[in-house]
Amino acid sequence: MNLALFISKRIYSNVDGGKQVSRPAVLIAMIGIAIGLAVMIISVAVVIGFKNEVRNKVIGFGSHIQISNFDAVRSYETRPVVANDSMMAALSNYPEVRHVQRYSTKPGMIKTNDAFQGMVLKGVGPEFDPSFFRENLIEGEIPMFSDSVSSNQVVISKALATKMNLKLGDQIYTYYIQKNIRARKLTIKGIYQTNFAEYDNLFLLTDISMVNRLNGWKPEQVSGVELQVKDYSKLEDTTYKIAADTDNKSDCFGGVYYVRNIQQLNPQIFAWLGLLDLNVWVILFLMVGVAGFTMISGLLIIIIERTNMIGVLKALGADNFTIRKTFLWFSVFLIGKGMLWGNIIGLAFYYLQSQFGLFKLDPATYYVDTVPVSFNIWLFLLINIGALLVSVLMLLGPSYLITKINPAVSMRYE
């Protein structure tokens, strides 16, 4: 059996009265490792969860990729493009694309007896994927939307309903300004709440046929096409591939197609989410530093306490490398025990928060009402392996102190 490993195990298990390795030093070192690792696990879980929540809400309103008219960039008063059956079929045939749906938008205003509010009426067809709105639906239901007839039913956000003092089943009057003011009476069929104020205060969902008639478009004309991809990590490649086949091409009415993904449509939001990664790196660096320095101080105290033993080992013929390995192995045992408790604390927080939502947030500021968490097994393993390696590497320097201990002097050390 490896001599260094054997001796380190004996030191670790030595509990004879008073000769155990300094209890305060060991305890502080393990607590430092446990707290550092727990904070790293919790930080990564919260940041990934928060990014996923915000990203999914933005995608839920606008899908992964949009194809619209080049002349209507960044405006809800859009100019149309043709999205006929052949185009929809061609887009669906891309292997990276999971779903394709049409949409049309029309800015307008909701007016009641004592209030009014600007909004955007978004029309969708029968191919619309309602899963996102269904997950966030708090009252009513999602109607079956049509591209041929108008049901005059609408899905409204909780934020708008509260502002306008509306409830499920109410009839609302909406107004649209063109050459003349046009009005439509709609019935609230469902109420959703995503806590994403930028969109909750804006969008009403209805039939695409109604919006197209308000815009005065042909049946095959729409504001654009939304595409959902199968793998978000390949979003950029998929966008460029579709853009190469579609961008700058004209339809039969002269509309020019323009392809953009959700990151290009919302650069501020995704730039903000990208900054969160920097915060995680800062936290990881600080926590590894705290854990590493507590281990360094602990190892130095252990070496000083075991100076007599080091002298005996040298007198018996053990070289410096073997003795250094002995104390490094002992440090690994301490780090491992601290990491065990750190993992328990971190995983317990993840479980409790994901199941019970113990920690709340202000949705008006953070877009979510509880602290979101997400667990990634590969990042979890990487944090553990990285923390172990960095902690051990930081101890290589302090272990060099062993080479300076003189056997003749140290054997008389008490």
% of the chain with per-residue pLDDT over 90: 48
Query: CA 79 to CA 221: how far, in whole Å?
Result: 9
% helix, strand, coil for the chain, step of 5: 55, 20, 25
pLDDT in tens, 121-140: 999 999 999 999 999 999 99
- Judge whether 399 and 328 are in contact, CB under 8 Å: yes
pLDDT at 81 > cutoff 90: yes
- Judge whether 311 and 317 are in contact, CB under 8 Å: no
The per-residue pLDDT for 13 is 72
The per-residue pLDDT for 16 is 42
149: tokens are 């007839």
Cβ-based neighbour number of residue 71 at 10 Å: 13
45 CA to centre of own chain:
8
Query: CA 63 to CA 9: how far, in whole Å?
Result: 57
According to DSSP, the β-strands at 203-207 and 116-124 are parallel
Query: CA 362 to CA 343: how far, in whole Å?
Result: 28
- With bands split at pLDDT 50, 70 and 90, how would you rate the model's confidence at 397? confident
**Sequential DSSP letters for 193-252:** --S-HHHHTTEEEEEHHHHHHHHT--TTEESEEEEEES-GGGHHHHHHHHHHHHTT-B-T
103 or 299: whose pLDDT is higher? 103
Annotated domain spans of the chain? 3-57+269-410, 80-254
pLDDT at 151 > cutoff 90: no
The per-residue pLDDT for 95 is 94
pTM for this model (two decimals): 0.81
pLDDT in tens, 14-24: 644 444 546 77
Residue with tokens 């990285």: 386
